[in-house]
Structures are given as C-alpha cells and as structure tokens.
Structure 1
Amino acid sequence: MPNLHPPFELDSPIPLYQQIKEKLRSGILDGTYGPHCRMPSESELQEMFDVSRITIRQALGDLQKEGLIFKVHGKGSFVSQPKASQNITSLQGFAEAMSSEGHEISNRVVSFEFVPASTQVAAKLELDEGTPVAEIHRVRLLNRKPTSYEITFVPEPLGKRLQRADLITRDIFLILENDCGIALGSADLAIDATAATPAIALALEARKGAPLLQVERLTYDAAKRPIDFEYLYFKSGTFQYRLKVDRKRSADARGKRQATEAKA
C-alpha cells in the first residue's frame, strides 16, 4: 500500500478532508494509483491517515465528483481513466493550464502554411476574404498521449513570426505575448460536439467518426482586435472544460430584499 501519510497541518484553515483529498489526488495524478487500480478501502485509509471514517468519505466523495475515482458496489473505489480539465474563467493556453496541474505537454506540428482566408476565417479576423493567413495544424500530447487536434489561423505578419518560433514545446499564446509583444485581452468560445474526420481520427489515434469535443475560440488583444482564430478538437474522455458560475439576482429580487432590510 503506498505511504501517503502527511504530516497534516492541523492548524491550517484547509479542512482535514481536503488535505487528504489532495494527497490522494496527487497519488492518482503521479501514477501511484494507476487507471482502474483499486483504491485502499475506507478502513485502510482511516488507518493510513489516522482520521475518522466520515473524513475519509468526504475526501473520496470529492474525488468522485472530480471524476478521478468511481465506485463499484461491494468492491470499493477505483481510479478512473485520467481526464484533464481546464478552468475557462481565465484565458490560458493548453500547455500553460495543464503544466500548472503537473501534466507533461508536448506538441506535434502537422502542417504550417500560408493560405487565402476563407469567408469564415476572414470574418472572424476582420480581414478581406482571400487575404493571406497562416494556418497551423498541431496535435497536443498530454502525458505523451494525443489529446487534442488544434487548427490555428493568424494574420500573415504574425504567422511569419510564429514560423520562426518553437511550436513543439510552447503555447502560441505565450509566443504572442513574450516574443511578439502582444498583450492578450479576451476570447470568445463556442463549445459543441462533433465527429472525428479521418485525418483528425488518425492524428488522435481514435476511430473515424468518434465523438470529439469541439471548441471554436477567437482571441482578441488588449485593444479588442481579433488576432487568433482556432478550432480545438478534444478526444472524448480525456479532457473537460470547467466553469464556476454565480446566480445573478434579478433587479426585482434585489429591490424586494433591500425593502425588507430597510423595514427591519
């Protein structure tokens, strides 16, 4: 049984179950517990961490909510096939986001060429149709396994800068910021489901027609000029976007609450 015993920070503001969850989570992500491996039982984890069964159940419950483990009735908890996730409340490149989670990222450049902008690409980048743009195809590898296929379009002047850059190990966002001196501002995203074309299926080592998560992303610089238009195709079961949202109170609800507070 892997030794994941802390020490815990008993005076930490972080609840004990969350500290245990992070220890187990690290063990899953670094391969200590491999995919489909049975996790220690609740009683074994109690002994390992010297805590109550309720605390262990809270930690395991959170891991299950994150999709890192699944339960089989009568047999215990098992490690799920790893699924990376990216929070889309901030604008980050794939490698930038995944590296911060401890994943290994590399890229395989499939093609890089200058082509006339199609009607859609021209409209997105606010160019005349037929204007030369760089079209870049890359396979993104997560922990050495093909995870996404990325098609990027940028205006020709930026494309010439990217042509000389290291696209195998670096995010295009970081190259635009650090090498080209462009301050990125925001992005519009549209998320959908699609089926893998033969070329993309081959690149992602998936079957033809396999389900993919499709993300269409248009990135603007700080002056709100569109500079990067992309199609991102993620292999099913390997990646998810996450977003935390708050409920927006209506004006009527706020008014009633304020009136109640005033009376009180």
Structure 2
Amino acid sequence: MIDKSSPIPLYHQIEEVIKQGIEHGEYQPGDVLPAERVYAEQYQVSRMTVRQAITNLVNERYLYRIKGKGTFIAEPKLEQNLKGLTSFTEDMSARGMKASSKISKFDIIPANRSLAEQLNVDMHTPIYEIKRVRLAEEIPMALERTYIPANLIKGLSEERVLSSIYKYAEEQMGLKIKSATQTLEATIANKEEIKLLEVDQGGAPVLLMKRTSKLENGQTFEIVKSSYRADRYKFMIDLER
C-alpha cells in the first residue's frame, strides 16, 4: 500500500510495491509489467511518479525495457560469494539449481611463454586447453577458459570435463586443491562471448574473473579465465574489521 502521509517519497514506495511483487512471485521473469497508468490509477499518483519508480528499477536491473513492446521483469541475478574456493557445479548445487556445460574446445597444446610462466612449467609442456559454456537451468551464465598441465591430471576427457574437473581431480586423482588467487574486472563482451553467452551485440557488459589455483604442495594446478554475464551474475564478499 501507498502512504501519502509518509515522509518516504511516493516513487520509492511504488518501487517497493513492485519489488515485493517480484520477490513474492506475483511477477515472473519475462512477464510484462502493467502500464504506468495502471499504477497511477490504483494509487492515485501521477504517471511521472510511476515513471520515476520504474526507471529506478530498470537502473537496478529488476526490470528491462524493449522499445515498442514495454517493460519486462528481469531474470534474478545469481550471487556468488568470493570468500570460498568452489567450482561452478558446487555453486549451482548449493542453490538447488542444475549446472551443465557445453564444450566449445578440448585440446592439448604446448605451453607458450605466457602459459609456462603462469603455470610455472617449462616451455612446450603439454597443457589442457578447455573452453566451456557454463549453464544454470540451461541458461548460459559464463564462458570459462581453463588451462591445466596435462601431466597433473592424466586421463581427463570431455565426459569428465562435462561433470566436474575438481571432482575428478580430487576424488579420482587424489589431488588436493587448496587455494587460489583471483581478480575481477568489468569489461565488454567480445565476439566469442556475444555468440556463446547469447548476449546483445554492441557493448554487453561481462565480469571477467581470472583465477590461479594451487595444490596443497604449492604447485599451480590451473589458470581459469571466466567471463560472466553481468545481467545474470553478481559477486559478493564478506568484509570484517
């Protein structure tokens, strides 16, 4: 309900009404939001007030507009806590979501200078190069490029990659993945990301995460470069003082 005697601005109250409708399931992702005049008549406020509320929700990614068609309910963003070291499969499983992958490349290549330095191996060492589109409930979420020394995890196959590299490495190969260093930055989707992540052409934002994981003995296990859809994913970190 809207309280016109409240010091809280009317547009903000309408924002909260729409947010609650989304959070309580009254609106589903992809649904068309009722027209501005519907809210204006229902709450006896100006359409300008309603427009301000809707614009704010578009900016916050609760809604999105399609020119000539209307305003729609956006897909909720998946939230990943950066505090722990988990795989994509483990993250999705913790949310009760089905994780899956599509492999766009699976090959063994000789390490160039850059890969050799990052993985702490000799030049020309055989390296797995794996490109996967990571999906949650069949929706593309990230393009993941993984590089692992082939002598560390022998017998890796496309079938095992489609399941979980971490699970195979730890349960079948007896490796202990202990720690990782990762960076996160915002960038614009390139042609490969636009195609595989099914995002709009011309400036779609992605979150680029680069991670270097190490085994219990200090040996570098992998380098992963992941491009996450910024419209579907967000990261969270807990800070303490």
The TM-score normalised by the length of structure 2 is: 0.69
Instruction: Please say which of residues 94-103 and 151-160 is displaced more in the overlay.
Output: 151-160
Cα distance between partner residues in 1 of 2:139 and 2:130: 20
Q: Identify the match of residue 198 of structure 2 among 193, 205, 214.
A: 205
Q: Which amino acid letter does the alignment assign opposite residue 117 of structure 1?
A: A
Contact 2:207/2:229, CA 8 A, preserved across alignment: yes
The reply on whether 1:195 has 2:191 as its aligned counterpart is: no
Contact 1:221/1:227, CA 8 A, preserved across alignment: yes
1:54-82 CA-to-partner distances (Å, cap 9, x unmatched) read xxxxxxxxxx9xx8968xxxxxxx96521
Q: Identify the match of residue 177 of structure 1 among 163, 170, 176.
A: 170
1:244 equivalent in structure 2 = 238
Cα distance between partner residues in 1 of 2:194 and 2:87: 23
> What SS does structure 2 have at the residue aligned with 1:186?
strand
1:147 equivalent in structure 2 = 141
The reply on whether 1:101 has 2:95 as its aligned counterpart is: yes
Q: Identify the match of residue 82 of structure 2 among 66, 70, 88.
A: 88
Structure 1 unaligned runs (5+)?
1-23, 39-63, 71-77, 248-264
Contact 1:83/1:240, CA 8 A, preserved across alignment: yes
1:180-216 CA-to-partner distances (Å, cap 9, x unmatched) read 1111101000111222221221011122542210000
Instruction: Please say which of residues 155-164 and 223-232 is displaced more in the overlay.
Output: 155-164
Contact 2:103/2:158, CA 8 A, preserved across alignment: no
Structure ranking higher on relative contact order (CA contacts 8 Å, 6+ apart): 2
Q: Identify the match of residue 130 of structure 2 among 136, 149, 158.
A: 136
> What SS does structure 2 have at the residue aligned with 1:133?
strand
1:153-177 CA-to-partner distances (Å, cap 9, x unmatched) read 0001245422264222x22212211
Alignment length (residue pairs) = 186
Cα distance between partner residues in 2 of 1:234 and 1:99: 18
1:116 equivalent in structure 2 = 110
Over 4 Å off, 4+ runs: 67-70
The reply on whether 1:226 has 2:212 as its aligned counterpart is: no
Structure 2 unaligned runs (5+)?
1-21, 34-56, 64-71
- Cα displacement (A) at 1:243: 0.6
Q: Which amino acid letter does the alignment assign opposite residue 197 of structure 1?
A: N
* 1:124–1:241 distance in 2 versus 1, CA, 3 Å: same
Contact 2:118/2:223, CA 8 A, preserved across alignment: yes
Contact 1:84/1:238, CA 8 A, preserved across alignment: yes
CA RMSD in angstroms comes to 2.6
The TM-score normalised by the length of structure 1 is: 0.63
1:126 equivalent in structure 2 = 120
Instruction: Please say which of residues 184-193 and 155-164 is displaced more in the overlay.
Output: 155-164
